[in-house]
Structure formats: structure tokens, C-alpha cells
């Protein structure tokens, strides 16, 4: 697996050209303290013969004085270079290592495992394509494992390899490995980790690192090195949305004005019509200039200089985009923030927000809530302290051009800098949601008419339960378009009716044909549609009936607010988990092709996010079981909850 090639001896220029064209994979190792992250990287380099002889000799000598293996070779010392790290046997700062194979170039970020260095881990993960999360086989899934997994999900890293390490200390037990795998999958089901893999390893002994382990014949999967060398990441980059933040205006003489920067996403070609933001002035690409000459086209993440046909005002911090595919240009937005400084967040205090190539002053106007990384539940908090994560409303003094982080990591991320100390205090990810003062929903509105009071029925809820023989609940069937929500809703209604129960369906499309006919499909309008529907569902429940609500309901926050309206004790969430590929195949109305082409905007699963429920009452894989079996599963849940008998 060494990077060496015969071309080095025969044609160094050809070798360098070949090496330059290799695909680059950035990945990080993370997990709890002492799970073996540094040892893993050291063993990876050692077994792949990627450590130079003088470095190897130095490591062998240091292993005697600083090692944790009883005088034997300690691979962890390869990355733990700080004196404090070697003395304590831990990783403090992010350590970067570089290597290559015949297929790829790699940059490894070895991240610290201690809770107090969570900010370092978030920094190391911010540019990675893949995460290797280590778990000590003796301890299983611990709090820091969950914290790092949540941050990996938060930062939009799609590919995750969970390496169950120290298998040699549990006699390479398959049962222990399978239990840890099951425990992690239960937790990861609440996260956005679309490509999840598992591997049992011993980083110290080298089992399943570069070579297949002889101690675990029951494992027939790939080795870690082979996985890193073959995992497909070509589709991860955003080639659809052209975004070019201008970092520098190059004006070497009177006849040349070029705009320099790194293409954040998308593709640009000579002759393309483009628009400069925020001025909205249009032009066409005259040339694409690089050190090696002009190009006909350039793609992310190339660094280029773009010249335009006509003279329009473009300055550092502006963004060049396509007129028909523009980011948002706003001063206010919602964001998830990872606080990285000893001094806590002060809402209303003026900070510097660095976004792409632009700096803007602004404030965190509202602290919405803090996220408990262990349970993934939100809790009220007036501020954020070191290593805490929360959702905030940001208000800037001038507009910036941004996309939601899930859509575009380059234009959806920012950092916050203290104006006095110039210290980086936080990193943020912009959400695909409008801010509270722009939203068209009315969750927090007070009734416009005064002197209103609630009228109470003379029929009690207990009398209604006795009459109908059921407890009134709202069953929210949520999932992507094509997951089978409406089909299962009406099948469930039919089954309940045949059992002598009183139930009715509240369908999202029917709501839009009546009460919500004035609403579109933006995030705030979807929120308002669910708010209105929750109020209707509450009235249905108050009448003693079971309400079966079939809605996409893509936002986890909005679903939770709907539960508050209906009542948490009578709100049941059923996630229809059919993947988007299956939903596309079921699409008879052509919604997905229209969403792909941009004719339907803000379409969950394509051009807008869908938050899978964090803790649903039931998950129904409608791509694996029939409608009848799905209804059976929901009925069993209702029986277990004593809703029906």
C-alpha cells in the first residue's frame, strides 16, 4: 500500500504529474479518550510502510520512555508530538498527517477525545469527507462517542466508519462486537449519518488495519486501509450550485481586471452568464485564468481568476453566481453554533462574523435553545458555554450571500470572532429556515381580538372515552413524498372503523385545498400549514376521536411544536422510513423530476432538508413491508399504549 512508484526512479516529472491528479480524501479519527485514535494512525502508517526509517528509529527509542505498551513499539507516539501529550498519553491538539497510495492522497486529522477539547475536534472535522469513530470494545458506546457522532452529523460528514478497537482485550469476541454495533445503530438512528460502516480492529496489534485479521475469522468485511482507498466520495461535492466568493481583485495593469478565489461549489465555463452579489449586476465570463494558462471550464474546489466581459463593480467579499441559481441574500438567519471559547456567549454583543470571503459585524439576537448531545433533546438556555451547542438567531449589519449548510458546506458555514481579543469564539452552520421575524407561521402569535376566553364543553373527556371505547390521540405519519403516508393513513382509518372505533384522516394535500390554500411550500409556509393542522387535530381529539395526520412535516422543531399544541401525552409520531430512492420510484405525479430541475423549490429530500424524527414512537419501513403489515404495526402500538383495546 506504499505510495512508492516505479516512476520515481525513471521519470520524476511523470510521477509528480500522476500524483497531482490523485483524488484527495480528508478524514478524521475521533471518539472518547483512550479509544486508540493515535495508535490507529500510527499502526496504519507502520503496516503500510509509510514511516521513514529515521522517524521509525526515533519512535522506537521514545516508546521506551514515553510509550504505554510496556517498552514495546507504541504507534500513538507517531501523532502525539506535544510534550504534554506524551507525558499524559492523550491527544490535546489536532494532529495532521499526510500520505498517499496508488489511488489516493490522504490528509488525516487526529482529533482529541477529552470533552474539554471538543472544540478542537469540531475544527478538525470541519473540512473532512469521512470520519473514523473509534469505540473501546471494553466500554462500548460512551458519552463522548455520542458527542463526537453528533458533531460529525452536525458538520454534514456523510461517510462514517465505526471502528470497534481493542478487540484483543476482549478475546476478539463477536458477541461483544455485535452488541456494540447494535447499541451504536440505535443511537445513530436519530442522526443524519447516511453512509455508516462498522469494522472490528486491534490498532495496537494491527488486526484489520492493513491486513485481514487471523483472530477474527467471523468478520468477512474489508480492512480499514482498503475501505479508505475505495470509498466513493465523487458525488459528495456540490457541482450544481455555482458559488464563487471573491477573495482578491487582481489589477496588475490597465488592461486586466480579474477576480480571484476558490470555487466553493459548482462549475463555471467561458461564456456563462453570471451575476455579482449583492449588486445583482450581470455579465459573462470572458476567461478563466490559472498559473498554468487559461481553462475552458473550472470546477470546485479549483482556485482560479475569472475575468468578465464588461466592467461591473465586484469587490472582495462579493459572490459571483448564476442568475437562475442564486443563494439567499439576507442579514438575518438561523444557525447551529458550536461555542469554542472560555468566555460564554453574550446575546446582543457585537461580534465579527466571517463567512466565505466576507467579514460582517453582527449579533446573536436570540438564543433559541441548547442541544443535549447525549439525548439530542433541546433545552432552554440563556447562553452557550465552552463546547456547548445550540440554535441561535443571527442578525448582521449587512446582508451576506449564503446557502443552508446541508446544501452547501462552503457557503453555509461561518466563524465568529471576538472584536476585542480577535479570538475565534464559535463556529456556525446556517439552517435552511427563515428567521422568526420573517416567518409566515403564527406559532407565537397572540389572538388579535381581545377579551377572549376558552369555552368548555359540558361533556367531559372521560365521558367521551367511555362512549367511544378509545383514548383520543393524534398519529402523525411523517416521511418523504412517496413514503406511503396517505395510503397507510386511509388503510388505518378503515381498519379502526371496522373495529368499531371513531377515527378520521387529516391529509396534508386536503388541508392545502381548503384551510391552507393560501400557503406555498417554503419552510415557513410548511410550518404554518402544520400549525393550522395541529389546531384542527386538537379539536378532533377534544371531540374524542382519533386523528390520523399524514404530512411530510420535514422539520423536527416544527413537529415538536405541533406536539405541544395537541398535547405531548396524545401525540404519536410514526416515521415512514422509505429511502428517497424508493420514493422516487413510486412517484407517479412527477414531483421528484420537477424538484431536480428546480421547477419545484424547497422539496424535502431534494432541494430542502428532511429531519428524520429524533425519537419516533414507531419506525415503519414501508419499503420493506406491505400496507397491511404497516397498519398492523401501528395498531399494535395503539394497543400497547391502551389507545384501543
Cα distances from 61 to residues 44, 75, 108, 212, in angstroms, run 19, 12, 24, 29
CB-count burial class (<10 Å; 0-12, 13-18, 19+) for 635: middle
Contacts of 52 (CB under 8 A, 6+ apart): none
| Residues linked to residue 478 through DSSP beta bridges, in sequence order | 575
The confidence score (pLDDT) of residue 63 equals: 58
The confidence score (pLDDT) of residue 436 equals: 41
**Each residue of 223-261: pLDDT tens digit?**
999 999 999 887 778 888 999 999 999 999 888 999 999
Nearest alpha carbon to residue 591 among 575, 576, 577, 607:
607
The confidence score (pLDDT) of residue 176 equals: 96
Chain position carrying cell 453528533: 150
Domains annotated for the chain, with CATH where assigned, are 7-230 (3.40.50.300), 243-321 (2.40.30.10), 328-430 (2.40.30.10), 461-640 (3.40.50.300)
The confidence score (pLDDT) of residue 248 equals: 94
Cα–Cα distance measured from residue 528 to residue 439, given in angstroms and rounded to the nearest whole number = 9
| Residues linked to residue 268 through DSSP beta bridges, in sequence order | 298
The confidence score (pLDDT) of residue 62 equals: 63
Nearest alpha carbon to residue 118 among 359, 382, 394, 384:
384
Q: Give the residues of the chain that fall short of pLDDT 50.
A: 1-3, 70-71, 80-92, 434-439
* Burial state string for 211-231 with b = 16 or more CB within 10 A and e = fewer than 16: eebeebeebeebbbbbbbbeb
Angle, CA of 137, 143 and 147, to the nearest 5°: 110
Nearest alpha carbon to residue 72 among 59, 85, 55, 86:
59
Judging by DSSP bridges, how do beta strands 104-110 and 130-136 pair with one another? unpaired
The confidence score (pLDDT) of residue 6 equals: 64
Cα–Cα distance measured from residue 106 to residue 128, given in angstroms and rounded to the nearest whole number = 11
Return the beta strands (E) in 380-447 as ranges.
389-402, 413-417, 424-430
**Each residue of 160-205: pLDDT tens digit?**
999 999 999 999 999 999 999 999 998 888 788 889 999 999 988 8
Amino acid at each position: 500500500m506504499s505510495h512508492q512508484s516505479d516512476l520515481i526512479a525513471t521519470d520524476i516529472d511523470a510521477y509528480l504529474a500522476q500524483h497531482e491528479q490523485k483524488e484527495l480524501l480528508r478524514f478524521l479519527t475521533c471518539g472518547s479518550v483512550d479509544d486508540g485514535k493515535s495508535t490507529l494512525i500510527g499502526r496504519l502508517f507502520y503496516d503500510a510502510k509509510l514511516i521513514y526509517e529515521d522517524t521509525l528509529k526515533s519512535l522506537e527509542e521514545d516508546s521506551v520512555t514515553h510509550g504505554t505498551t510496556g517498552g514495546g513499539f507504541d504507534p500513538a507516539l507517531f501523532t502525539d508530538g506535544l510534550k504534554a501529550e506524551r507525558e499524559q498519553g492523550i491527544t490535546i491538539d489536532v494532529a495532521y498527517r499526510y500520505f498517499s497510495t496508488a489511488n489516493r492522497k490522504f490528509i488525516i486529522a487526529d482529533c482529541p477525545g477529552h470533552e474539554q477539547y471538543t472544540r478542537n475536534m469540531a475544527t478538525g472535522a470541519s473540512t473532512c469527507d469521512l470520519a473514523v469513530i473509534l469505540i473501546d470494545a471494553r466500554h462500548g458506546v460512551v458519552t463522548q462517542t455520542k458527542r463526537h457522532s453528533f458533531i460529525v452529523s452536525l458538520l454534514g460528514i456523510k461517510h462514517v466508519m465505526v471502528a470497534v478497537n481493542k478487540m484483543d482485550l476482549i478475546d476478539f469476541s463477536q458477541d461483544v462486537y455485535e452488541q456494540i454495533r447494535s447499541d451504536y445503530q440505535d443511537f445513530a438512528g436519530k442522526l443524519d449519518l447516511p453512509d455508516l460502516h462498522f469494522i472490528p480492529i486491534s490498532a495496537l496489534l494491527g488486526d484489520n488495519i492493513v491486513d485481514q485479521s487471523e483472530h477474527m475469522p467471523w468478520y468477512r468485511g474489508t480492512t480499514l486501509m482498503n475501505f479508505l482507498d475505495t470509498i466513493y466520495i465523487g458525488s459528495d461535492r456540490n457541482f450544481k450550485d455555482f458559488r464563487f466568493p471573491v477573495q482578491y481583485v487582481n489589477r496588475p495593469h490597465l488592461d486586466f481586471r480579474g477576480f480571484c478565489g476558490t470555487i466553493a461549489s459548482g462549475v463555471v465555463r467561458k461564456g456563462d452568464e453570471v451575476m455579482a452579489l449583492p449588486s445583482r449586476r450581470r455579465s459573462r465570463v470572458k476567461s478563466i485564468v490559472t498559473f498554468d494558462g487559461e481553462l475552458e471550464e473550472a470546477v470546485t474546489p479549483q482556485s482560479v481568476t475569472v475575468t468578465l466581459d464588461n466592467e461591473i463593480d465586484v469587490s472582495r467579499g462579493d459572490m459571483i453566481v448564476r442568475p437562475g441559481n442564486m443563494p439567499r441574500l439576507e442579514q438575518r438567519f438561523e444557525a447551529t453554533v458550536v461555542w469554542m471559547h472560555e468566555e460564554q456567549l453574550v446575546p446582543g454583543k457585537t461580534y465579527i462574523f466571517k463567512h466565505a470571503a466576507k467579514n460582517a459585524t453582527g449579533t446573536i439576537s436570540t438564543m433559541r435553545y441548547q442541544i443535549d448531545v447525549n439525548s439530542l433533546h433541546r433545552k432552554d438556555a440563556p447562553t452557550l458555554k465552552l463546547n456547548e451547542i445550540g440554535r441561535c438567531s443571527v442578525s448582521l449589519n449587512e446582508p451576506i450571500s449564503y446557502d443552508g449548510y446541508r446544501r452547501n458546506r462552503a457557503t453555509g458555514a461561518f466563524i465568529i470572532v471576538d472584536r476585542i481579543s480577535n479570538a475565534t469564539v464559535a463556529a456556525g452552520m446556517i439552517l435552511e429556515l427563515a428567521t422568526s421575524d420573517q416567518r409566515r407561521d403564527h406559532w407565537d402569535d397572540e389572538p388579535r381580538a381581545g377579551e377572549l376566553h376558552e369555552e368548555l364543553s359540558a361533556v367531559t373527556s372521560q365521558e367521551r372515552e367511555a362512549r367511544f371505547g378509545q383514548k383520543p390521540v393524534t398519529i402523525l405519519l411523517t416521511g418523504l413524498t412517496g413514503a406511503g403516508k396517505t395510503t397507510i393513513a386511509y388503510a388505518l382509518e378503515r381498519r379502526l372503523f371496522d373495529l368499531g372505533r371513531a377515527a378520521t384522516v387529516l391529509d396534508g394535500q386536503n388541508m392545502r385545498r381548503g384551510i391552507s390554500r393560501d400557503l406555498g411550500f417554503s419552510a415557513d409556509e410548511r410550518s404554518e400549514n402544520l400549525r393550522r393542522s395541529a389546531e384542527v387535530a386538537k379539536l378532533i381529539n377534544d371531540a374524542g376521536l382519533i386523528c390520523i395526520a399524514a404530512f411530510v412535516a420535514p422539520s423536527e422543531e416544527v413537529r415538536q411544536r405541533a406536539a405541544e399544541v395537541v398535547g405531548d401525552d396524545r401525540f404519536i409520531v410514526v416515521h415512514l422510513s422509505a429511502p428517497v430512492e424508493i420514493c422516487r420510484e413510486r412517484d407517479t405525479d412527477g414531483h421528484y423530476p420537477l424538484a431536480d430541475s428546480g421547477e419545484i423549490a424547497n422539496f424535502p429530500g431534494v432541494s430542502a432538508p428532511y429531519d428524520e424524527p429524533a425519537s419516533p414512537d414507531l419506525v415503519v419501513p414501508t419499503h420493506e413491508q406491505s400496507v397491511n403489515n404497516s397498519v398492523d404495526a401501528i395498531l399494535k402500538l395503539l394497543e400497547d399504549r391502551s389507545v384501543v383495546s
